[in-house]
Amino acid sequence: MIAVQAALTGALIGGLYALMAAGLSVTWGVLRVINLAHFGLILAGAYLTYELVTGWGLDPILTVVVTAPVLFGVGACLQWAYERMNMVEFNSLLVSFGLLMVTIQLATNTWTADFRRLAATENPYATSSLELGRLILPTTTLLAFVIAAVFIGGGHLLLRHTFLGRGMRAFAQDRTVAAAFGIDHRRLGLLVGGAAGASAAVAGMIFTLTNSLTPAVAYEWFGIVFAVVILGGVGNLLGTLVAGVGVGLLSGLVSVIWSPSTEPFVLFLAIILALLWRPHGLFHRRGVA
């Protein structure tokens, strides 16, 4: 029963991993930009959520009404800058890593390096849970999964069944031909970059609900988020969700059955084996899915 509880909790937390990875996956798949600054946007979203809850008394979930438009604008501005500088993938990796370092330092200067966590009086979701027989599902992890599923599912439907989504997929597959058919890649890039920023705001809010905050936590996201992006297939939103749940489930099981210290070893061993079998990810498709 302990293993079942750990696996279920891990799978639900995997929703947060998927949401963190979604923006990075789409910008990489559509715009050919490996935007490590996305981790900085998640960190900014988390700290803005903390500030709005502790300083303004907002409900944590309602903070996205403020943070999502703000980070949409920041994400769009970043993409505009990448476009103006004609960034290729490798250069975007280096430049965005520098921007991430700047963001972490700004967060440290503003909020210090101390751990910060929402108090139970400010975060009503932290002390409640859903009981299913002998299984206990914390409300925060349930929210992480439900919000991730809604956000990613909505993004998938937009990409598959709207004119805008078809334009994104065409642009991801062949930029030259897409431009010849009248697709404005600059405006499209701004929309994709802004949407990635908004997803970072939502991911930051969920992270603040469930974890303590410190600027250095952004470094801890690298391994898991890149694992989810690669396993899910770059640009594949549904694959990202499935990969996030799978990574969370595996992490939870390993932590209980073996030990928490072996979790990274088993996780990345599984990733290596999976990529030997499917080099482009378990759920890879051409273009955006």
Q: What is the pLDDT confidence band of residue 16, given thresholds at 50, 70 and 90? A: very high
The pLDDT of residue 251: 86
The residue among 176 and 117 whose pLDDT is bigger is 117
The pLDDT of residue 287: 43
Q: What is the pLDDT confidence band of residue 40, given thresholds at 50, 70 and 90? A: very high
Q: For tokens 């700047």, what's the residue?
A: 102
How far apart are alpha carbons 138 and 115 in whole angstroms?
22
From first CA to last CA, the distance across the chain in angstroms is 36
Percent of the chain scoring above 70 in pLDDT: 93
- The two tokens of residue 60 are 């944590």
The pLDDT of residue 180: 67
pLDDT surpasses 60 at 288: no
Rg over alpha carbons for the chain, rounded to the nearest Å, is 19
Tens-digit pLDDT profile for residues 200-259:
999 999 999 989 999 999 998 988 898 899 888 888 888 999 999 999 998 888 888 887
Task: Provide the 10 A C-beta neighbour count for residue 223.
Answer: 14
pLDDT surpasses 90 at 67: yes
How far apart are alpha carbons 199 and 201 in whole angstroms?
5
Give me the chain's average pLDDT, please: 87
Q: Read out DSSP for 227-283?
A: HHHHHH-TT-HHHHHHHHHHHHHHHHHHHHHT-GGGHHHHHHHHHHHHHHH-TT-TT
pLDDT surpasses 70 at 112: yes
- The residue count for the chain: 289
Contact by Cβ (8 Å): 64, 48: no
pLDDT surpasses 80 at 164: no
Classified by CATH at the fold level, domain 2-112+138-277 comes out as ABC transporter involved in vitamin B12 uptake, BtuC (1.10.3470)
Q: What 3-state DSSP class applies to 54?
A: helix
- What Cα–Cα distance (Å) separates residue 20 from each residue in 100, 121, 250? 15, 26, 18
Q: For tokens 């079942």, what's the residue?
A: 4
The pLDDT of residue 218: 94
pLDDT surpasses 90 at 32: no
SS (H, E, C) 88-148: CHHHHHHHHHHHHHHHHHHHHHHHCCCCECCCCCCCCCCCCEEEECCEEEEHHHHHHHHHH
pLDDT surpasses 80 at 111: yes
Q: Which residues pair with 131 in a beta bridge?
A: 136
Q: For tokens 């996030």, what's the residue?
A: 244
Q: Which residues pair with 116 in a beta bridge?
A: 213
